[in-house]
Structure 1
Amino acid sequence: MNNSSATCSVSTQHFSIIVLLCLVFFMGFLLNVFCLGVFCCRMSSWSAGTTLQFSLALSDALAAPSIPLIATYFAMGNDWPFGQVFCKVIMALLSSQFYGSTIFLTLISVHRYTAVVHFNKSSRMKNKSFIRKLCAGVWLLLLAQCLIYGFTIPTTKVQYCLTFIQRTLKDSLFIISCVLFTVGFLLPFIISAISYFRVTNALIHLNTSSSKGLKVKLKSQRMIRMCLIIFGICFLPMNVIRTIGVVLNKYYPEQCKLLHYVQTAYYVSWILAGVNCCLDPLLYFFGSENFRGALKG
């Protein structure tokens, strides 16, 4: 995008952002490929929870192919040399990874809530067939999101592929950011938080005569707590900073220095979002006896 279509130019990012971004996503990619191998090769039967965990691991691995291209973009002074199609593909992969993770983390929290609070009642969240269909629906939703990036977001000039400092796209970016913040982050976080507090309340009224029941409920509480920590550390900064950025870009486009600071903070928040790929495998190891058993076997 040239100066006629953007109020501010895009500043070059520090080399440390490139290094940390590559390191975090590379480590996350290796961990999740390992977990996918365990799920596929060492677990003969899957429960409903295992299906959700596999989908989460697959979602976490999606962003890894885009990182070398993003690193090249930063290294070349925020100049995108790969063309319009790859720009939209990278945007779609990143968005699918970030928001696929939030959705599957939420479903894991709801599944654990159902197993604890409604342990003696039938629920579709305990049904493996329903969970498979639910995961398929989520993947279709993520595919639709990719198509939105591909067909509804115009790219007037592709040099500044991954920035929100774009005047001609300010309205589109503002609407998409608000939808992603509310539907892709805030709603899943609220659902996960409600699940955690309901499980915690169930523990308060727990009959301690059953050591097995206590173990299951404590494990579920620990898993949902971990999901909330991942939401707070990994996804909250990215969503808040991007929302601030698109608001500034829409209503205060002349504030170039402030926009550059927010843009840099946004790229740093990608590193935190990438940490999610490294933390999610802890859910499988500490929250799934089947996963630990597959590792030992």
Structure 2
Amino acid sequence: MTTREPLAVELQRGLLVNVVDQVGEGVAVFDMEDTVVYANAALADIQGTSVDHIIGQPLSAFIPEPPPGAEEERAAAEQSGDGLLRARMVARRVDGSPVDVAITVSPLHDDDGEQIGRIVIVRDITLRRVLEDQLERAALHDPLTDLPNRRLLSDRLEHALDRAARSGRSLAVLFIDLDGFKAVNDAYGHDAGDEILRQTADRLRECVRQEDTLARMGGDELVVLLEEVANANEPLQTAHRLLRAMEPPFTIGDSRMTITASIGVALGAAGSQRALLHAADEAMYAAKRSGPGRIVVTSMEAVAADARPDASPKGPKS
């Protein structure tokens, strides 16, 4: 009966390589010239090729363009105590397709403590990145219409106000409210109301530029943010396009119905987003008081001048 050698000895004789070959994360060893001298099967799977093809390849064959600052970070890491470098980046498979990866780079030393290479551990996080993107989108978009929600609109409006303050150019907010939407919900049910909102979002998307923001504030209220507005006529033209898009009847099941909208337009170049939204909201209510399918244009300054005790209160929405 033969005596089995201690596990530590077996590891030194090659079992360790077999262990690494079976782990789920990609592992590669690079020499000091950043050439692959060892790769496991998991790394080959991530890269879409064979281990034999990877051996002898330079680091740039897998990561053509390291993320900004990677070389500086690696140099700093190698001068620090543990020498670890962690990063997330987009790598390239052999066929050129991208793959999201998380990598950990650590120095490899010989028995005398001299660095002789680097160990790179690669984890495919493509699915994780997809899930993260989905969660981020869900947090910033309305689930019914897939439009930006109030949170994303607030962020974009804040940045737009900063840019307008620097450039001196105006921006515009169009506050849109569907006329008679409550009556539609009462008569046809909330499922019909939801379908009208979805169809409305699809129609209005076609009326704004790619750089504009069409968002759903909630209920039947939508907002369009226009940046780099040259004059008051530009947002007015956009408002007219929005109203024209609402003219064709909506088909809900076997029913056809006409829905109009009231739009308040507010212009501004400085101030707070709350003030600009308030100005647009006030203009929208003024449009509703004058009849369905109307547009009222105002400015933050005009609303502030009208904010007096005897000012007419908002009327109820219809």
Shorter-chain TM band: under 0.3
* Structure with the largest fraction of helix: 1
TM-score (norm 1): 0.26
TM-score (norm 2): 0.25
* Structure with the largest fraction of strand: 2
